[in-house]
Chains A and B, each alone.
Chain A
């Protein structure tokens, strides 16, 4: 009986972390992801790291996209990843960061578990293709 037809969708959380109030980029990304057929959960401005952890775990997203413009990425991003690991959700979540990340910080973030960094001017297709090719599925 093959009555269990799978309906897979890439689920993605787009989150703005910390104090900066610029969400235009996050909106553009959310819409582009939607148009690419993703299911996008948008969690609004000023998310605390534990809020993003909560959303990532509960929504069981395949992708966490963090938009950060404030410069506090070296503190906030590792906090988030640490929390996600605590709930055993790291292994199957692709973590991408967008916004203003100086080149010298990239290595630090990659070492701390970020899978991709996309700065200003990155074509949307490039980000979408990266996600489609690298999304971590259980099987």
Chain B
């Protein structure tokens, strides 16, 4: 154990010294949940808070990777360092995955000051938002100026991932009635900036118009985002969406042609405006508080779930408990009480008098 701890300490000091290999290994620790990774992330925490974290999401083929490549290129031209985490869904059949976002990173080839890391879902999407949060911390502590989190915007889990960012940009390809529909289902609320990419294609004007109407409707309507609910209430209750009622950030729409590098400067300028607004309005601090609250709640929930699972296994597994309930020897409340007794009162485990 002590060996493991000194290994972590060495890794932390190498990472803070700017050793690329240490940063890469730290993220592997995080991804693998390797013993000691919690200590690692804890050590890194005090060194974080200096990076702008930008989330990029949108449907497959919207041009996320190409846009990220151009963004990184411009930031590098300005002398800023960049970290990118690109998240791809896992292949559900074998647990393997092919991660291809790296292919698009053509503008910054061989430049070690662009740290690009691919992550897969590994079949457990819930844990991925934890891993993403922690990987962002590693990049932040390393000293990256800009950190970009790129993910397919397909559902609530991806929404959770992208919420680790200070500024969230949602990419919308033109003439995509379907995509606007998808946006209505939850992605809209998380956007701090809309990017209509491939703006040179037919239908781009229409898409901009539709988005503008939607933003207008949201601003004048009875805040549709506030009624968020669901099974994950423990996590989500405290988490407001940026762009909610008490903020005065009006979601801008930026048009880009990422492939040709058009509109990139304007997009980065808009991101900067949002970053400034976060700082000046106090909204950034408020959101940071909420993020930490959500993070703590999520960790508690995950840990408790794991501990209970362990106790459940030790008590013969869920099936055995179900049989007891079926045979009327026990009931669901009693089973739950028994299993949670150890957590509720650790000094007196359930089986002692």
* With known contacts A3-B302, A58-B115, A87-B21, A9–B102 Cβ distance under 8 A: no
Instruction: Kindly report which residue of chain A lies nearest to residue B28, judged by CB atoms.
Output: A60
Confirm or deny: B260 has a beta carbon within 8 angstroms of a beta carbon on chain A: no
- Give Cα A121 to B35, complex, Å: 41
* With known contacts A4-B38, A39-B96, A60–B25 Cβ distance under 8 A: yes
A29-49: contact bitstring with B at CB < 8 Å (1 yes, 0 no)? 011011111111111100010
**Inter-subunit contact B109/A35 (CB<8 Å):** no
Q: Which residues from chain B contact A1 at a C-beta distance below 8 Å? A: 303, 307
Q: Which of B94, B109, B117, B307 contacts A36 (CB 8 A)?
A: B94
Grouping DSSP codes into helix (H, G, I), strand (E, B) and loop, the B interface class, with mixed when no group exceeds half, is mixed
Confirm or deny: A55 has a beta carbon within 8 angstroms of a beta carbon on chain B: yes
Work out how many contacts link A and B, with CB atoms closer than 8 A. Answer: 112
**Which residues of B (22-43) have their CB < 8 Å from a CB of A?**
23-25, 27-28, 31-38
Q: Which residues from chain A contact B95 at a C-beta distance below 8 Å? A: 9, 37
Instruction: Kindly report which residue of chain B lies nearest to residue A32, judged by CB atoms.
Output: B96
Q: Which of A9, A31, A51, A57 contacts B122 (CB 8 A)?
A: A9
* Interchain nearest-CB distance for A69 vs B (Å): 19
Confirm or deny: B306 has a beta carbon within 8 angstroms of a beta carbon on chain A: yes
Confirm or deny: B233 has a beta carbon within 8 angstroms of a beta carbon on chain A: no
- Give Cα A4 to B303, complex, Å: 9
Confirm or deny: B116 has a beta carbon within 8 angstroms of a beta carbon on chain A: yes
- Give Cα A37 to B92, complex, Å: 10
* Interchain nearest-CB distance for B95 vs A (Å): 5
**Inter-subunit contact B117/A58 (CB<8 Å):** yes
Q: Which residues from chain B contact A8 at a C-beta distance below 8 Å? A: 32
Q: Name the interface size band of chain B.
A: 35 or more
**Which residues of B (288-314) have their CB < 8 Å from a CB of A?**
302-303, 306-307, 310
Confirm or deny: B20 has a beta carbon within 8 angstroms of a beta carbon on chain A: yes
Q: Which of A9, A40, A43, A58 contacts B24 (CB 8 A)?
A: A58
Q: Which residues from chain B contact A5 at a C-beta distance below 8 Å? A: 33, 306
Q: Which residues from chain A contact B23 at a C-beta distance below 8 Å? A: 58
B102-141: contact bitstring with A at CB < 8 Å (1 yes, 0 no)? 1100000111100111101010100100000000000000
Q: Name the interface size band of chain A.
A: 35 or more
**Inter-subunit contact A40/B96 (CB<8 Å):** yes
Confirm or deny: A122 has a beta carbon within 8 angstroms of a beta carbon on chain B: no
Q: Which residues from chain B contact A38 at a C-beta distance below 8 Å? A: 96
Confirm or deny: A114 has a beta carbon within 8 angstroms of a beta carbon on chain B: no
B31-64: contact bitstring with A at CB < 8 Å (1 yes, 0 no)? 1111111100000000000000000000000000
Q: Which of A6, A53, A55, A89 contacts B35 (CB 8 A)?
A: A6
- Give Cα A111 to B35, complex, Å: 35
Q: Which of A3, A9, A37, A88 contacts B306 (CB 8 A)?
A: A3
Instruction: Kindly report which residue of chain A lies nearest to residue B25, judged by CB atoms.
Output: A60
Confirm or deny: A127 has a beta carbon within 8 angstroms of a beta carbon on chain B: no
Most interface-central of B34, B36, B97 (chain A CB within 10 A) = B97
* Interchain nearest-CB distance for B316 vs A (Å): 19
Confirm or deny: B91 has a beta carbon within 8 angstroms of a beta carbon on chain A: yes
**Inter-subunit contact B94/A34 (CB<8 Å):** yes
* With known contacts A1-B307, A2-B310, A88-B21, A48–B109 Cβ distance under 8 A: yes
- Give Cα A41 to B100, complex, Å: 6
* Interchain nearest-CB distance for A88 vs B (Å): 5
- Give Cα A46 to B204, complex, Å: 33
Given contacts A39-B97, A48-B109, 6 further A-B contacts (CB under 8 A): A39-B120, A41-B99, A42-B103, A53-B110, A55-B116, A58-B115
The 10 closest A-B pairs by CB, nearest first: A44-B103, A50-B110, A34-B96, A60-B24, A60-B28, A37-B96, A40-B98, A3-B303, A51-B109, A3-B306
